[in-house]
A and B are shown apart, each in its own frame.
Chain A
């Protein structure tokens, strides 16, 4: 233990902040307060269940999505902040609050719908642009983690246009951005500007507004961290993932997997999640002590637990023994149908497991297609088709769209485009419109020429990964994950889209 702590202290590649966070994690790691039964521990040891480094004693929710609209209206007693009167006060107020919104990374994973938050304060456009650009610069240099996510849209606003423009000029990794897109609300010119921005700095991604609205019972939603759909004024207590690529090793055949292994694994993982949620809600005192809860910027009953899943493709290929590409997930009809069947069953088992404290999601956990971790080797994110096996774009979109309706707390796919596409961004908008009609929930684009690229859900600069590769310090801790994914998951080898 003390050796581990000393090695963190003496690690010269870590910045001071990164050391501090690792030291806190090491301290939490000494505790043993969760009641983990042997059958749960067995699956944790095998890597089938993984809590994604959430720590041994949850003392804050993993993802917190405060109601920033409310904060703008009421200010904060605890922070002694009055509602803003102009753009400078508005951006400053938000920056102050961001500093006090915890999460698994210790940084805020959700910054609000920043265009609609700032739009009322835009009077003099030149001054507003300067304020917005400084606001974004401050976020990038102080929230040094690209799981930090801001939302835009679906309406076109002056603030939205300014945010996109400044994002290109600043060429930053943080914040990650999502445009809530609805063909009937978002005008084409704004959507095209968003795509042009994406081809330069790999963001914003597009979320299917109609689909999310329906899933959140007509209420607005937050996109946080990678692409997690969560209730505003709430968040997620925890995210644990089930590694299907490893679970499949436990199954004798398809029937065994669907009828025995899968329901049993769901039960073990859900019980593990229960333990985490229980400690956080009943013992940690988070919801009693946080000013965010006291000032009703978050509500305990708007939180839920995210039931993550990873490696569907490898699971399917393994269980049917698919060797040839034509039989594999993403290509073979049988493989794809089986994939859907597994997810359908998974949803059924997860939804039938009733839980305490998840009122907002009908008293069950919600499915999430987890994007993987940097040490995953040969395991595809969520339900994605493995890199190297991607079919032509129309076929790819139709295949992946089959899985998106099941994952209301997040799923997405990423498509790098060649430089010709940047001359015709409208062509990509056509593809996104079609993809959403087909049932895709979330769509990300980047250009292979750009420095900022999307790794699995978060963004990293290729140049920063190179720096870290040379053992130099980098300001963003996410670069470490990016480099791992570059080495282990072939993320630079994705099929490049253009004419096909």
Chain B
């Protein structure tokens, strides 16, 4: 089995705890208005024709080699995308091998959590991964469809499933001004988090134009004051670890 990889960053300090090797998998089932790396959206199979040169079809061994090079310097690896969970079978195998070779390395999954993770067939995947960073891009179904192209029923169900297993590292929401009601969104998402774990990290991320397709969305970065206002809403709902990025 092979993985379709867009790129690997050997040292990353923004993808979870400590220093991590980050693997960006190719292919996404969302088409977010504010996608920062639209080049990772198109889905290719292992045997697809016309795979662009900068995308790699990688074996487990090849990825393990990359990890081997930096293993002494990292706390773990983070898989991201695109949407890495689309390649969950490959990830299951990859994580299993990583744990075999380096017990101390943690495996984090940065995901939109849109595919059902609760079915029995994915149990091994969920067991072997350490934590998930989950994007909840909107709370209201219609808003979610507007932002991403699909509904968020699976996302919410996955959140509830994972949080009960203690498998969530953080929840994230990107704040784009003037598209959806951000106050309401943050209010609802923080209430949902608070219902399960008030100390869970909730990251609200300022929208930035870099990388975003101008023909799809032209927006501006929200002000620090606006972000602080949103943070207060989340804190009022009981969350103790709200971070503005």
Contact = CB atoms under 8 A, between A and B. Distances in A.
A438 interface: yes
A427 B10 contact: no
A420 B13 contact: yes
Given A430-B19, A431-B19, A424 B73 contact: no
B14 interface: yes
Contacts of B75: 426-427, 430
A450 interface: no
Contacts of B18: 424, 426-427, 429-430
Contacts of B119: none
Nearest to B69: A394
Interface in A308-358: none
23 contacts: A392-B11, A393-B11, A394-B10, A423-B14, A426-B17, A427-B11, A427-B12, A427-B13, A427-B18, A427-B20, A427-B75, A428-B19, A430-B74, A433-B72, A434-B70, A434-B72, A434-B74, A438-B72, A498-B13, A499-B12, A499-B14, A500-B9, A500-B11
A431 B19 CA distance: 7
A426 B75 CA distance: 9
Interface residues of A, number: 22
B19 A394 contact: no
Given A426-B18, A431-B19, A421 B13 contact: yes
A500 B75 CA distance: 16
Interface in A433-449: 433-435, 437-438
A85 to B, nearest CB: 44
B96 to A, nearest CB: 23
A249 B70 CA distance: 38
Nearest to A392: B10
A397 interface: yes
B73 A435 contact: yes
Nearest to B10: A394
A413 to B, nearest CB: 14
B71 to A, nearest CB: 8
A397 B13 contact: no
Contacts of B10: 392, 394, 500
Interface of A: 392-394, 397, 420-421, 423-424, 426-431, 433-435, 437-438, 498-500
A397 B71 CA distance: 13
A450 B8 CA distance: 30
A392 B9 CA distance: 11
B130 to A, nearest CB: 15
A424 B14 contact: yes
A190 to B, nearest CB: 16
Nearest to B76: A430
B135 to A, nearest CB: 20
Contacts of B73: 394, 397, 430-431, 433-435
Q: Is the interface of B mostly helix, strand, loop or mixed?
A: mixed
Given A421-B13, A424-B17, A430-B74, 10 more contacts: A394-B69, A394-B73, A420-B14, A428-B19, A430-B75, A431-B73, A434-B70, A434-B71, A434-B72, A435-B73
A438 B70 CA distance: 11
Interface of B: 9-14, 17-20, 69-75
Contacts, number: 59
B9 A394 contact: no
A494 B216 CA distance: 39
A438 B74 CA distance: 13
A401 to B, nearest CB: 10
Contacts of B70: 394, 434
B243 to A, nearest CB: 9
Nearest to A438: B72
Which 9 residue pairs of A and B lie closest in terms of their CB atoms, listed nearest first?
Answer: A434-B73, A434-B72, A430-B19, A427-B13, A427-B19, A424-B13, A426-B18, A430-B18, A437-B72
Contacts of B13: 420-421, 423-424, 427-428, 498-499
A499 B69 CA distance: 16
Contacts of A392: 10-11
Contacts of A435: 73
Contacts of B12: 427, 499
Nearest to B20: A427
A155 to B, nearest CB: 23
Contacts of B71: 434
B11 A394 contact: yes
Given A420-B14, A426-B18, A499 B9 contact: yes
Nearest to A498: B13
Contacts of A434: 70-74
A426 B15 CA distance: 12
Contacts of A421: 13
Contact of B11 (A429, A433, A438, A499): A499
Residue from A420, A498, A499 whose CB has the most chain B CB atoms within 10 Å: A499
A416 to B, nearest CB: 14
A448 to B, nearest CB: 15
Residue from A394, A397, A437 whose CB has the most chain B CB atoms within 10 Å: A394
Nearest to B73: A434
Contacts of A424: 13-14, 17-18
Contacts of A423: 13-14
Contacts of A428: 13, 19
Contacts of B72: 433-434, 437-438
A187 to B, nearest CB: 15
Contacts of A429: 18
B62 to A, nearest CB: 17
B13 to A, nearest CB: 4
Contacts of A431: 11, 19, 73
Nearest to B17: A426
A498 B22 CA distance: 13
B92 to A, nearest CB: 25
A372 B147 CA distance: 57
Contacts of A393: 11
Contacts of B74: 430, 434
Nearest to B13: A427
Residue from B11, B17, B20 whose CB has the most chain A CB atoms within 10 Å: B11
A184 to B, nearest CB: 14
B241 to A, nearest CB: 14
B102 to A, nearest CB: 12
A492 to B, nearest CB: 22
Nearest to A497: B11
A92 B13 CA distance: 43
A80 B243 CA distance: 57
Contacts of A430: 18-19, 73-75
Nearest to A188: B18
